[in-house]
Amino acid sequence: MTSSPSTSAPPPLRIGIAGLGTVGAGVVRLLRENAGLIRARAGRELVVTAVSARDRTRDRGIDLSGVAWCDTPEDLATHPDVDVVAELIGGAEGPARLTVSRALENHRPVVTANKALIAIHGAELACTAQQAGVPLMFEAAVAGGIPAIKTVREGLAADRILKIGGILNGTCNYILSVMHETGRDFAEILADAQKLGYAEADPSTDVDGVDTAHKLAILAGLAFGRPVVFASLYIEGIRRIGALDLQFARKMGYRIKLLGIARQHENGIEARVHPCLVPQDASLAQVNGVFNAVVAEGAFVGRLMLEGRGAGEGPTATAVCADLIDIARGSAIPVWGCDADSLTQAVALPAREFTGEYYLRLNVCDRPGVIADITAVLRDNGVSLRSMLQHADAHEIRPDGTQAVPLVLLTHKTNEAAMQHALHHIAELEAVLDEPALIRIDAG
């Protein structure tokens, strides 16, 4: 008679969490509330054994008795009861970068939600992770609960991706959505968003397009197998979008969205963040409020779009825990989808090489000959005019008696350098009263 082999359960995966803000506390809560489900899917228990945060006395609504506290987050990298480090501090430098680097150097897998860190230092960290033979996972760094990283890096691994991007910042999408619905101005809606917790006290990272750019850099690196040098991206935010632009957009059948767009060309990678006019019947135009949408286009798979909440405790904690489950199962997918040894960093194409259609709004003197002067400048710079619209209701008499009227021009496809040159000369015309507003049109 022979005895059956031992089937003892594998040891738990011991997790050290750096940062106990909204996301960090959410990860602890999710791991505990869904412990049975996670154990079944991971093949072992996932337990938080150590944490590090600035304030030990703060009530986070979670029981941390029996959990070790580290004085500094980088101490988690060498803690004897930690198998994997979850970095949820944020920021591209300082404690976050040091914690991740030390953990990888000490052969500890890392899970992070830190988009800035991966966008700026991802190529370097990929080499460190490969040399240490451990995974670096960052599903939560892009679009919160949307499985964007897994979709691009794993689901589309066999296809050649032609284009990637989308609506990647919930704060900006909320502001533009409410501006569209109410006709109110940017500053007023931003103040409301801050009161509701949709915007930070200092909203510059969001509204100036930097957050979107971090996420776009990551998506582009995964899509094209080459981390993009972050400093080379073209970045433009939404501060200059006025209520009048939303009104004109609606009249012409468009919505205005802040988009991240990346394409691979023969001469390099096009990667840019800026407001776009999106046709009202396009799927992206229907993504409103704090929702995000990631769009990818593959040579074989065609176009696909993933939509969901891009931030917050629940979506982000879910993405962090998905990475922890992968690590518990022994996943070892390279950071950028291919060996770090084969990676070269790509510089994004300069803005002057972009091509597309444009929306141009001008406030001009209401007098004969003005339109002829403007169209002559466009003609002389090789910019072809597609249509024109005036807003008679917005006619204004200024304190000096000047009669001003807003004028919107839509162009055919042209070169960015030509458009900017024309814009410079239009702004110098005596009849043009304010700084022109230029928005690009997304052709899909």
Which residues sit in the known binding site? 18-25, 115, 200
The question of whether 215 is a catalytic residue gets the answer: yes
Written as one letter, the residue type at 137 is: M
Give exposure, 267-290, as e/b (b: 16+ Cβ within 10 Å).
Answer: ebbbbbbbbbbbbeebebbebbeb
122, 137, 53, 62: CA torsion to nearest 10: 160
Kindly report the backbone phi and psi dihedral angles of residue 86, in degrees, each rounded to the nearest multiple of 5, phi listed first.
-105, 110
The count of other CB atoms within 10 Å of the CB of residue 334 is 17
Query: From the annotation, which residues make up the binding site for NADP(+)?
Result: 18-25
The binding site for L-homoserine comprises 200
Q: Which residues define the annotated binding site for NADPH?
A: 115
Dihedral pair phi/psi, residue 159, rounded to 5°: -105, 160
Give the active site residue among 150, 163, 195, 215. 215
Q: Which residues are catalytic?
A: 215
